Amino acid sequence: MFWIFDPKRRARRLEADRLYTRIAKTALNPVLFQDFGVPDTLDGRFDITSLFMILAMQNMDKKDSQALFDRFFVGVDRSLREMGIGDLSVPRHMKRMMTAFNGRREAYASALASGNALMLAEAIRRNVYGTVPGVSPETVRKLTDYVQGQVVGAISDIVRKAA
C-alpha cells in the first residue's frame, strides 16, 4: 500500500499494469487457440499467458520484472475468485500456480539462453500442450517458430515501448 507514496514504485507499478494488459491481450488472441492448438481452458490460458510474460520478463531489470510478476498474479488471484474459488482455497491455488510459473520460467529461460530450438520446443510441448493428449510435433513446431520469430520481437517491442 505504501507504494503510492513512492513516485518510482508507483510509476513502475503503473507501467507493469499497462504492460500486463498488452501482454494478456496478445496472449489471449483467438488465433493462438484456433490455429496453434493451445487448449482453450484455464490451464491453457495460464500457460500461454505465462509464456508471453516470461518472454517479456527476459528483457527487463529485476525490479520491473518483479512488478510485472506481481501484476500478473493479482490478475490470477482475481480470476480464481471470479471463478468461485473460496477465500480459504485461493492461497493454495496461488502457491501451486506460482510454483508452476517459476518452473516454466526456468525451462524457457534455459531454452532461450541456449538458442536451442529443440529445447524450446520441448519446454513448450511439456507446458503449453501438457494437457493435450497426442499433440503433433507439427503443432509444437508451429508454436515454437511463432515464439522464436514474431513473439520474441513483439514482446521486446512492447517492453521497449513501455520503458
- Could you tell me which residue, 44 or 162, shows the higher pLDDT? 44
Break the chain into its structural domains and give their ranges: 7-162
In this prediction, residue 115 carries a pLDDT of 84
Q: Cα 93 from chain centroid?
A: 17
In this prediction, residue 29 carries a pLDDT of 93
Per residue in 122-145, pLDDT tens? 999 999 999 999 999 999 999 999
Per residue in 74-105, pLDDT tens? 999 999 999 899 889 999 999 999 999 999 99
In this prediction, residue 154 carries a pLDDT of 62
Nearest residue to 38 (alpha-carbon basis) of 150, 135, 151: 135
